[in-house]
Structure 1
Amino acid sequence: MPQEFTRSVFSLVVDGTAMNVSAIHRDGEKAPIVFLHGFGSTKEDYADIVRYAEFAGHPFLAYDAPGCGETVCSDLTKPGIPFLLETALEMLQRVGFVRFHLVGHSLGGLTALMLAQRYPERVISFVDIEGNIAPEDCFLSRQIVDHPRESAEQFLEDFIERTRQAPAWASALYAASLRHKVRAGAVGGIFRSMVELSDNGDLMNKFLGLPLPRMFMYGAQNASLSYLKYIRERGVALAEIPDCGHFPMYSNPVQMWRAIAAFHQAHRECEASGSA
């Protein structure tokens, strides 16, 4: 069968930690798109980009974060937002993306925010899919504080059961694969880092201060987020995805992709110097 993207493994050393990072990517003549997945998800969340004509010709990169999916990390105590940010920068160097559209979901959205805040000149646009920008966004990660357990394995098992029963779109589907998509030893560091930044990292001002087009995407089930009107009034485009909670890539992927494509189209002029 013809390959519509390439699957590669990149050997990296970040902060003294060896990793084999599993990625999917393709080349193209247009502006690149970088996808950072959420906690307990994988690069395959974004493989369907090849199914949408609106993205034809755009190179893309999606990879499994340390502690997730098929990526092998030699020290599972290392993953946290700073480590994930450095991993992202190493991966961008490996694939040669200089300027790019950035799309991040949840954990990936928070990592993407830190990347865009450090190097705004490299980011053409930023689609934040329910990435953390306020303390209220820690409804998953704060469980590491609210439901502590003696072992990482027990915490993950309990987390899976709570998630399976959550009254939200796609929660049971998401829960079903969690133990296969995330290493238990990585969960604590990731979650604590997310909580610390959400509570004390001035994320809202970082997000609003980005000098580039931004869209915040959220599921209709989460339309009660307290800051939506506030960020819209400050120039952030909003995309509400119907029949959806925290996981548009599982509950309503067609609307997710259409919203991303429309946002990119609206800012096509920003791509002038965005090629790899």
Structure 2
Amino acid sequence: MNNASNAPVVFINGLIGTLNDPEIHRQLGDRPFLAPDLYGYGNHQGTPVGNINIQGQVERIREVVEAEFNECAVNLVGHSVGGVVAYAFAHRYPERVKSLVSVEGNFTLKDAFWSSSVANMSVEQAETMLEGFRADPEAWLERSGILEPAGQTETAKTWLAHQPASTLQAIAQSVVAVTGRPDYQTILRSVFASVPVHLLAGEHSVGGWDVPDWANKGATSLTIMPDVGHLMMLQHPAAFGRLVAGLLA
């Protein structure tokens, strides 16, 4: 049986973008990895909106893990909304998970504040928002806390083109529904009890991460990446990859 130090890594992106970045993956050495397009993203942008939700993404991860790694258990790395997908996968398929790295994954409805905003937009408002981001990716980066965005412009363009506004709305609505459920904290506690969970946050954004006391106490580790915010993997992908590799080692 593989252990966490040599098990494959599956990266699960947040609301916008992709973690399919060679600068991140290069830091893993020879360890196998996947950063699959979720439903509504990348090559799956044509997925019907009704199928784009947290449980649908859990099944998408199950399908790609089984296809690529057979019965091998994996390490999950979930960013923000991707953290919700990772928690849900670990709850439904605990035998398939060696460890979980929550990169500012949503613990509460308070964490999902931006998803709440997107979820309440009209279709036209969501499309106008995304079009505005795409028209000025450096301004989007600055609003996201990256104050010297020039070096990340091309990556930002890739992220912003990776999904339509309809995907953002569908996932945002699902995240709000899931994190607002009365049993969500019970689900999270069961995940922490069944698999090692590492918490990873940016120095500039950790103060806004609504991590419950029980999760801080129950986590296997807490790592703060210096001089970055919520989009740490976009700002410094190689350093982010090294941190993930170190946690899994």
Q: Taking structure 2 as the reference length, what is the TM-score of the superposition? A: 0.80
Gaps of 5+ in 1: 1-29, 266-276
Worse overlay, 184-193 or 142-151: 142-151
Aligned residues: 233
From 194, 216, 238, give the equivalent of 2:199. Answer: 216
Worse overlay, 157-166 or 207-216: 157-166
Aligned partners of 1:109 and 1:130 also within 8 Å:
yes
Correspondence 1:251 to 2:232? no
Correspondence 1:262 to 2:246? yes
Q: Amino acid of the residue matched to residue 31 of structure 1?
A: A
**Which residue of structure 2 aligns with residue 166 of structure 1?**
143
Higher relative contact order (CA 8 A, sep 6+): 2
From 23, 26, 31, give the equivalent of 2:7. Answer: 31
Distance in 1 (CA, whole Å) between partners of 2:113 and 2:8 is 32
SS of the residue 1:206 aligns to = helix
**Which residue of structure 2 aligns with residue 95 of structure 1?**
68
Aligned partners of 2:119 and 2:170 also within 8 Å:
no
Aligned partners of 1:126 and 1:212 also within 8 Å:
yes
Q: How far apart are 1:257 and its partner, in Å? A: 2.2
Aligned partners of 1:132 and 1:198 also within 8 Å:
yes
Q: Report matched runs for 1:12-51 at 5 Å.
A: 30-45=6-21, 47-51=22-26
Distance in 2 (CA, whole Å) between partners of 1:49 and 1:167 is 20
Gaps of 5+ in 2: 1-5
Q: How far apart are 1:163 and its partner, in Å? A: 4.5
Distance in 2 (CA, whole Å) between partners of 1:101 and 1:179 is 26
Deviations 1:4-63 (A, max 9, x none): xxxxxxxxxxxxxxxxxxxxxxxxxx4211111122212423x334422xx333211111
Q: How far apart are 1:126 and its partner, in Å? A: 0.4
Distance in 1 (CA, whole Å) between partners of 2:38 and 2:175 is 15
Q: Amino acid of the residue matched to residue 220 of structure 1?
A: E
Aligned partners of 1:77 and 1:186 also within 8 Å:
no
**Which residue of structure 2 aligns with residue 190 of structure 1?**
171
Distance in 1 (CA, whole Å) between partners of 2:8 and 2:16 is 25
From 118, 140, 146, give the equivalent of 2:92. Answer: 118
Aligned CA distance change for structure 1 residues 83 and 180 (closer, same or farther; 3 Å): same
Aligned CA distance change for structure 1 residues 262 and 157 (closer, same or farther; 3 Å): same
**Which residue of structure 2 aligns with residue 271 of structure 1?**
none
Deviations 1:76-108 (A, max 9, x none): 342111111111111112113421111111222
Q: What do you get for the CA RMSD once the two structures are aligned?
A: 2.8
Distance in 1 (CA, whole Å) between partners of 2:234 and 2:147 is 6
Q: Amino acid of the residue matched to residue 121 of structure 1?
A: E
If each structure's helix is expressed as a fraction of its own residues, which one has the higher value?
2
Aligned CA distance change for structure 1 residues 216 and 63 (closer, same or farther; 3 Å): same
Aligned partners of 1:100 and 1:125 also within 8 Å:
yes
Aligned partners of 1:117 and 1:206 also within 8 Å:
yes
Q: Taking structure 1 as the reference length, what is the TM-score of the superposition? A: 0.73
SS of the residue 1:44 aligns to = coil
SS of the residue 1:88 aligns to = helix
Aligned CA distance change for structure 1 residues 151 and 257 (closer, same or farther; 3 Å): closer
Q: How far apart are 1:111 and its partner, in Å? A: 0.8
From 37, 42, 52, give the equivalent of 1:69. Answer: 42
Q: How far apart are 1:149 and its partner, in Å? A: 5.2
Aligned CA distance change for structure 1 residues 37 and 157 (closer, same or farther; 3 Å): same
Aligned partners of 1:102 and 1:127 also within 8 Å:
yes
